[in-house]
Amino acid sequence: MCGIVGYIGNKEAYPILIKGLKRLEYRGYDSAGVALISKEHQLNVYKTKGRVSDLESFVTQKDISGNIGIAHTRWATHGEPCSINAHPHYSTSETLALIHNGIIENYAVLKEKLQAKGYLFKSSTDTEVLVQLIEYIKTTNHFDLLSAVQLALGEVIGAYAIAVLEKDHPNEIIAARKSSPLVIGIGEDEFFLASDATPIVEYTDRVVYLEDEEIAVIRRDEELKVVNLSNVETIPAVIRVKLNLGQLEKGGYPHFMLKEIFEQPGCITDCMRGRINLDKNNVVLSAVIDHKEKLLRAKRFIIVACGTSWHAALIGKHLIESFCRIPVEVEYASEFRYRDPVIDADDVVIAISQSGETADTLAAVELAKSRGAFIYGICNAIGSSIPRATHTGSYIHVGPEIGVASTKAFTGQVTVLTMLALTLAREKQTLSEPAFLAILQELGNIPAKMKEVMALNDQIAELAKIFTYAHNFIYLGRGYSYPVALEGALKLKEISYIHAEGYPAAEMKHGPIALIDAKMPVVVIATHNGLYEKVISNIQEIKARKGKVIAIVTKGDTIIRQIADCCIELPETLECLDSLLTTIPLQLLAYHIAVCKGMDVDQPRNLAKSVTVE
Ligand code: F6R
């Protein structure tokens, strides 16, 4: 939900800002803009509808000089995507420019107040209100920029990560955050700021993650200063981040999504590294060691998440309930946070989030914490808001996920949930030792089996060509495969814009079966596990109505081959680990259908990677 970048130092700011925006483009890509203070003290703002590359074309022939600047890539909330609504926004006098990620909820009241005082608004955004309010406070009170920002933010309700430039102060950026992420990078005689560390790591590994209601005073040739809205100073905690630049590039793949699908065998190995010891038949999660009592005493687990992470949560429910015999509830974070959920001190709430920034999941965490629950985070982005808000947790360690459609994060989340369930089960002695050992050893085999699944890429690419005609798709699965069906449908919807629904296979006869005709492709996860025979009956029901069945089966399956229109054969594994393999052909199918249809796979319309607004 919008990416922001800033630079102050001795280098030309523009190339650094543009490169930074490109790294953050996954956060939003409907318009982009930059503000620079030139050596002649001009505050130049350039912005345009479209991608960062459109901004680059737009600024040719313009003065892009200056070694201080801020830039923004937008995901529209208030006001349609257009150049007027793009950030940065000028104040009325054009002496201030501001970029913002978040939502100012009381913008309408503030806007009315400012309009009554003669302020004119050009855009329909909530953000413009903020820059005008800062100017109003600054000029009426003769305040400096910092004091005006402090007072203005005190009047604001909502979420923000902002950065402000002032024309006559070319040596200063004021930046602040509340509920939207903001990272400051500290280099040699230079500072960077960004929504996450990816635009910064190329220049420095020393970063400060601002906390809520903290303001960074970033001045040339001075130490970074951090104050709160009441001007109380805190000593910024500088931490070192390690991000491999290669992980931020496509590495020869046509899209990040395909690269990330193919990375999964390595990601799962990384996720298990140091946690699973196959020689000693052991699995260790440090969070479980540190908080054993709390976790073992839990009467109930509640998992909160959104989107793909919610699908992983459904698999987590199966795993924890069947291995540990602890009841698990899975909730959409957005629903949970606005109900009055029954939570008590014996509950453990697990929050799953790739980005660690999803506003609804973060709010659910805060709510559960305020009710006394113990919070366990399962996240990918190191140092992001959710891991910082939880009591403990486990990172999935799959590396930066840049493609907007989540792929490797899902399998990383399922892997961590499997390790968590195994660790707790051993402590609680709810799994027999042979069953524990069989699952653990097979988990160790999963990366190699994932590689075998990757070899099906060409077959799936061919299959995709047949189904580009479809306007609808149905995905069916039972047990562990039901969340995979939901995930397969979500992937297809997101990147190919084909309507798709996931159902528990047996539910089909209660309604969705009415949709089946000769044109309807139905993807059925029918591996040789659990309810195999029952799934065969479901396939028969579809074929009796002439539906086109694409079956995901276990290698060597001869029965379904005779009924289904096409089969994708996967290596055999345990039922509880099936989802780690069955998800992959569905990711590849969605990818290839989208490519065949000429869609923008990495930046699908209307979506953004990090949903930091409600
Ligand atoms: C789907 C997708 C989204 C996210 C959801 C939660 O491909 O990417 O559905 O899974 O927005 O995001 P995180 O996991 O960052 O909380």
Domain boundary among 433, 453, 473: 453
Q: CB of 159 within 8 A of CB of 179?
A: yes
Residue 127 CB contacts under 8 Å (≥ 6 apart), including other chains: 78, 87, 89, 98, 99, 100, 104
Q: Which two tokens stand for residue 533?
A: 């025979």
CA angle 342, 347, 348 (to 5 degrees): 125
Does some domain include residue 26? Answer: yes
> Ligand 1 center to residue 406 CA distance, Å?
6
Closest CA to 348 of 380, 322, 316, 323: 316
Residue nearest to atom 8 of ligand 1 (CA): 406
Specify whether 372 is located in the same domain as 353: yes
pLDDT > 70 in the chain, percent: 99
Closest CA to 481 of 332, 381, 582: 582
Q: What pLDDT score does 529 carry? A: 84
Which one is catalytic: 47, 317, 548, 609?
609
User: pLDDT (tens digit, 9 = 90+) per residue, 38-85?
Assistant: 999 999 999 999 999 999 999 999 999 999 999 999 988 888 889 999
Residue nearest to atom 16 of ligand 1 (CA): 353
Specify whether 518 is located in the same domain as 410: no
What domain count does the chain have?
Answer: 3
Place 251 in a pLDDT band, splitting at 50, 70 and 90: confident
For residue 214, what are the β-bridge partners?
A: 177, 228
Q: What pLDDT score does 57 carry? A: 96
Specify whether 122 is located in the same domain as 159: yes
Specify whether 236 is located in the same domain as 287: no
Does some domain include residue 556? Answer: yes
> Mean pLDDT in the chain?
94
Q: CB of 84 within 8 A of CB of 33?
A: no
d(CA 191, CA 183): 11
d(CA 602, CA 354): 16
Domain boundary among 428, 453, 478: 453
> Ligand 1 center to residue 352 CA distance, Å?
10
Place 372 in a pLDDT band, splitting at 50, 70 and 90: very high
Does some domain include residue 606? Answer: no
Which one is catalytic: 2, 306, 379, 576?
2
Give how far the C-alpha of residue 417 lies from the chain's centroid of Cα atoms, to the nearest Å. Answer: 18
Number of H helices, E strands in the chain: 20, 27
CATH code of the domain in which 172 resides: 3.60.20.10
What is the residue range of 336's domain? 250-453
Domain boundary among 243, 277, 300: 243
Specify whether 48 is located in the same domain as 190: yes
d(CA 563, CA 577): 26
d(CA 541, CA 545): 7
Q: What pLDDT score does 603 carry? A: 84
Closest CA to 66 of 145, 8, 122: 8
> Ligand 1 center to residue 160 CA distance, Å?
20
Specify whether 409 is located in the same domain as 506: no
Residue 132 CB contacts under 8 Å (≥ 6 apart), including other chains: 91, 92, 114, 119, 121
> Ligand 1 center to residue 307 CA distance, Å?
5
Does some domain include residue 501? Answer: yes
Supply the DSSP symbol for 575.
Answer: G
Closest CA to 155 of 115, 100, 113: 113
Q: Which two tokens stand for residue 33?
A: 């803009």
Residues flanking ligand 1, CB < 6 Å? 306-309, 353-355, 358, 361, 405-406, 490, 494, 611
Specify whether 46 is located in the same domain as 87: yes
For residue 247, how many other CB atoms are within 10 A of its CB?
17
Residue 249 has pLDDT above 90, yes or no: no
Specify whether 18 is located in the same domain as 156: yes
597 counts as catalytic: no
Place 28 in a pLDDT band, splitting at 50, 70 and 90: confident
2 counts as catalytic: yes
For residue 377, what are the β-bridge partners?
A: 351, 393
Beta-strand (E) ranges in 284-412?
300-305, 328-332, 347-353, 374-379, 392-395
Residues in the chain: 614
DSSP per-residue codes, 79-123: S-SSTTTSSPEE-TTSSEEEEEEEEETTHHHHHHHHHHTT----S
Under the phi-then-psi rule, with left for phi > 0, alpha for psi from -120 to 50, and beta for the rest, what region is 394? Answer: beta
Specify whether 432 is located in the same domain as 525: no
Q: What pLDDT score does 331 carry? A: 97
Residue nearest to atom 5 of ligand 1 (CA): 307
Q: Which two tokens stand for residue 346?
A: 């014996």
Does some domain include residue 184? Answer: yes
Q: What pLDDT score does 509 carry? A: 86
> Ligand 1 center to residue 477 CA distance, Å?
21
Does some domain include residue 70? Answer: yes
Specify whether 76 is located in the same domain as 215: yes
Best residue among 611, 612, 614 to mutate for probing ligand 1's pocket (most ligand atoms within 8 Å of CB) is: 611
Does some domain include residue 575? Answer: yes
Residue 8 has pLDDT above 90, yes or no: yes
Specify whether 400 is located in the same domain as 308: yes
Measured between alpha carbons, how far apart are the two ends of the chain, in Å?
A: 10
3-state secondary structure 382-421: CCCHHHHHCCEEEECCCCCCCCCCCCHHHHHHHHHHHHHH
CATH code of the domain in which 571 resides: 3.40.50.10490
> Which atom of ligand 1 is nearest to 386's Cα?
16
User: pLDDT (tens digit, 9 = 90+) per residue, 187-220?
Assistant: 999 999 999 899 999 999 999 999 999 999 999 9
Nearest-Å Rg of the Cα atoms of the chain is 26
Does some domain include residue 112? Answer: yes
Name the one residue in this structure whose structure tokens are 């969070």: 287
User: pLDDT (tens digit, 9 = 90+) per residue, 303-317?
Assistant: 999 999 999 999 999
Which residues in 546-574 are b (16+ Cβ under 10 Å) and which e? ebbbbbbbbeebeebeebbebbbbbbbbb
Specify whether 261 is located in the same domain as 151: no
d(CA 247, CA 250): 8
DSSP per-residue codes, 505-530: GGGGGGTGGGG-STT-EEEEE--SST
d(CA 166, CA 386): 33
Closest CA to 268 of 396, 357, 166: 396
pLDDT > 90 in the chain, percent: 87
Which residues in 303-322 are b (16+ Cβ under 10 Å) and which e? bbbbbbbbbbbbbbbbbbeb
User: pLDDT (tens digit, 9 = 90+) per residue, 416-437?
Assistant: 999 999 999 999 999 999 999 9
Residue 614 has pLDDT above 80, yes or no: no
